[in-house]
Amino acid sequence: MPAPPQDAFAYALSSNQAWAGYKGHQNPDFFPKLASGQSPAILWLGCSDSRCPETTILGLQPGDVFVHRNIANIVSPTDINTSAVIEYAVVHLKVKHVVLCGHTACGGAAAALGDGRVGGVLDYWLTPLKALRNAHKEELAAITDDKRRAVRIAELNVEAGVNVLMANAVIQDAIAERGLQVHGTLFDIGSGRIRDLGFGTGKTGQNGVPGTNSNAGDVVRGKHAMLVFRTEGAGMQAR
């Protein structure tokens, strides 16, 4: 008789013990250094989807990324939760980059494109996406492939979110005073790649807004790789 499957939470705790042991053996100073404080270079605003774990897909380490995630990575100017995260990250942690990242195969995008209701608070939360659908009705209707249509509304959602970020007073001050950079991106779950959509302060995309990027670029160093932000785009370099 096969053994019953292990409880997911029990397995997660066991896996944590193994991970902590491995990291501590690999670098004895790793956890004491983490415990001494944080100075992340990136604020990541993303979706709660379990397939989009920011630190993992960026190839970085704990302490490298300050994070806020919600359903469909919606940035609302009236959401005090998101606003508090932005203010703390920009004013107090002084991050160098704010990255808003949508993704392919997004359930929120699919729900916004449908005519039915999800139910409960989710319908209220997805209202901005529904509004985007209505505002771009003709463009979206012309896309016959369902997956491509979902990708397009995800891109439009990132653009709308970046517009909200660029109107945020805290972010505006940081851009003017110390060159904070804002990026709009899309994570392709099928390939594992992040695509810079060109929204925000950079000049990387067709729809980019001229900003303060420099050719030298900023570097976020992880244990096994480093993420380099430049005017012409961001890239990962293995170490």
Q: What is the pLDDT of residue 202?
A: 79
Which residues in the chain belong to E strands, given as ranges?
42-47, 65-70, 97-103, 181-188, 193-200, 218-221, 225-230, 233-238
Bridge partners of residue 230, in order along the sequence: 233
Q: Which of 7, 51, 188, 193 is catalytic?
A: 51
Is residue 193 among the annotated active site residues? no
Is residue 51 among the annotated active site residues? yes
Which residues in 34-88 belong to E strands, given as ranges?
42-47, 65-70
Is residue 106 among the annotated active site residues? yes
Q: pLDDT class for 206, splitting at 50, 70, 90?
A: very low
Name the residue with tokens 């007073």: 169
140-169 pLDDT tens trace: 999 999 999 999 999 999 999 999 999 999
Q: Please give the share of the chain, as a percent, with pLDDT higher than 90.
A: 81
Tell me the angle at which helices 146-166 and 169-178 cross, rounded to the nearest 10 degrees: 70
Is residue 49 among the annotated active site residues? yes
Q: Which of 68, 97, 103, 149 is catalytic?
A: 103
Q: For the residues 55-72, what does the mean pLDDT come to?
A: 98
Is residue 224 among the annotated active site residues? no
Q: What six digits make up the tokens of 57?
A: 């897909």
Please determine, for residue 209, whether its predicted confidence score (pLDDT) is greater than 50. no
Q: What is the pLDDT of residue 120?
A: 93
Q: Which of 68, 101, 106, 195 is catalytic?
A: 106
